[in-house]
Amino acid sequence: MYCLKKITDDLTWVGGNDRRLAMFEGVYSVPDGVSYNSYIMMDEKTVLFDTVDRAVSKVFFENLTEVLQDRPLDYLVVHHMEPDHSFTLEEVVLRYPNIKIVCNAKILTMIKQFFEFDIDSRVIVVKEGDVLSTGKHQLTFFMAPMVHWPEVMLTYDTTDGILFSADAFGCFGALNGAIFADEVDFELNYMKEARRYYGNIIGKYGPQVQAMLKKIAPLEIRLLCPLHGFVWRKDIEKYMEKYERWSSYTPEEEGVVIAYASIYGNTENAAEILASRLWDRGIKTVMFDVSVAPASDIITAAFCYSHLVFASATYNNGIFVSMEALVFDIVAHNLQNRTVAVIENGSWAPNSGKLIRAELEKCKNMNILENKITIKSSMKKSQLAEIEAMVDAIANTMKK
């Protein structure tokens, strides 16, 4: 049975929600599920914007059939070739063999990599600024390479001011019956997942997102239709301001993320003392045990807050394994413009702090404080002054 959501008189959501998926892309936990968005525009010509993942293929085709009734499907616009949005592409072609596929040259190459059907006879290759008229609607195409794959493009409907934004402006979480962001308390219930989505999926590509934002800035966007999460019809500029901050690696809040890796609790104890002293000074602090907290949650916090503290035991003369993975992940996600402090522990050769610092120096504009604390096995009373000195250094680098 179909499950449709009307967006405008001419545009309908025909996607689906997956609440059984445990790990998005096999990496990121999605306890609240994820939506796969596909949209169909009914005009003189009918246009489908993207397909869906195989997990929701049944409801997708039921939705598509219900909207089209006896009409043909004239165009399929492909914005992004990742399989969660293109897995059902070939079946669409089999069901609607006269369809024209609208895409750019890089997408065409990827279609041929994923599938073996005859694409050349039915493809319309578009480039920056090209326009496709479907009758009432005029669709203009914009290239958005590396947001977050190299082939990505966007479509702007000049008639209704609709931006189809591919993976940009997406969010983890199933839609739970709603379709518009203003129907839910997005700030309370979804903003963290939007930030986690951005930081982990797109966060590495800040300069490319900045280029996209400049490109779409002159457009009058009245509806924002991403491939995951809600459609935006209100407060679009506020959501775009988040993307401006995230993509420029500008902290949203002043505060400290403390990530610690502790084997027997001694490194954790030092992190706890530091957090306590920071709160005593009125400095907001969040803590993560890297051995149990998903790295995606810590990266999300790192994109939000201004300061980071890494406290790690030394392990096999290196960084403790879960902390090492986190640090490498943060570097891989291109995080910038943060102040960092380090606490290291080791019973005979404390070495983790030096190695953490060496990795983080690969990031741009990281202010790594000289107030490193070295613990040998356990924290001593005599080192409380070092904790206070680190608190002072952190406080002195905050704007407020």
Do 100 and 144 lie in one domain? The reply is yes
Do 187 and 297 lie in one domain? The reply is no
Average pLDDT over residues 81-99: 97
Reported as a single tens digit per residue, the pLDDT across 303-353 is 999 999 999 999 999 999 999 999 999 999 999 999 999 999 999 989 999
Do 169 and 186 lie in one domain? The reply is yes
Compute the distance between CA of residue 273 and CA of residue 389 in angstroms, rounded to an integer: 13
Do 322 and 286 lie in one domain? The reply is yes
Q: From 211, 227, 247, give the residue that closes a domain.
A: 247
In a domain, 400, yes or no: no
Query: Has residue 1 got a pLDDT over 80?
Result: no
Do 184 and 302 lie in one domain? The reply is no
Do 242 and 262 lie in one domain? The reply is no
In a domain, 358, yes or no: yes
In a domain, 399, yes or no: no
% pLDDT > 70, the chain:
100
Give the count of domains, the chain.
Answer: 2
Compute the distance between CA of residue 296 and CA of residue 288 in angstroms, rounded to an integer: 11
Do 269 and 239 lie in one domain? The reply is no
Q: From 247, 276, 303, give the residue that closes a domain.
A: 247
What is the reported pLDDT for 126? 98
Do 53 and 142 lie in one domain? The reply is yes
Average pLDDT over residues 115-135: 97
Q: What is the CATH number of the domain that holds 300?
A: 3.40.50.360
Q: What is the CATH number of the domain that holds 121?
A: 3.60.15.10
Reported as a single tens digit per residue, the pLDDT across 29-46 is 999 999 999 999 999 999
In a domain, 22, yes or no: yes
In a domain, 336, yes or no: yes
Do 336 and 207 lie in one domain? The reply is no
Do 38 and 115 lie in one domain? The reply is yes
Do 224 and 313 lie in one domain? The reply is no
What is the reported pLDDT for 399? 83
- Is the pTM for the entire model greater than 0.85? yes
What is the reported pLDDT for 2? 74
Q: From 206, 230, 247, give the residue that closes a domain.
A: 247
In a domain, 151, yes or no: yes
In a domain, 149, yes or no: yes
Cα dist from 224 to 102, 111, 231, 282, 376, whole Å: 20, 26, 6, 38, 54
Do 285 and 339 lie in one domain? The reply is yes
Reported as a single tens digit per residue, the pLDDT across 127-169 is 999 999 999 999 999 999 999 999 999 999 999 999 999 999 9
The secondary element (H helix, E strand) that includes residue 59 is: helix 57-68
Q: Mean pLDDT of all residues in the chain? A: 96
3-state secondary structure the chain: CCCCEECCCCEEECCEEECCCCEECCCEECCCCEEECCEEEECCCEEEECCCCHHHHHHHHHHHHHHHCCCCCCEEECCCCCHHHHCCHHHHHHHCCCCEEEECHHHHHHHHHHCCCCCHHHEEECCCCCEEECCCCEEEEEECCCCCCCCCEEEEECCCCEEECCCCCCCCECCCCCCEHHHCCHHHHCHHHHHHHHHHHHHHHHHHHHHHHHHHCCCCCCEEECCCCCEECCCHHHHHHHHHHHHCCCCCEEEEEEEEECCCCHHHHHHHHHHHHHHHCCCCEEEEECCCCCHHHHHHHHHHEEEEEEEEEEECCEECHHHHHHHHHHHHCCCCCEEEEEEEECCCCCCHHHHHHHHHCCCCCEEECCCCEEECCCCCHHHHHHHHHHHHHHHHCCCC
Beta strands in 126-209 (DSSP E): 131-133, 138-143, 153-157, 162-164
Nearest to 205 by CA among 246, 170, 241: 246
Residue 172, number of CB atoms within 10 A of its CB: 25
Cα angle 68, 184, 88; round to 5: 35
Structural domain range at position 94: 5-247
In a domain, 122, yes or no: yes
What is the reported pLDDT for 287? 98
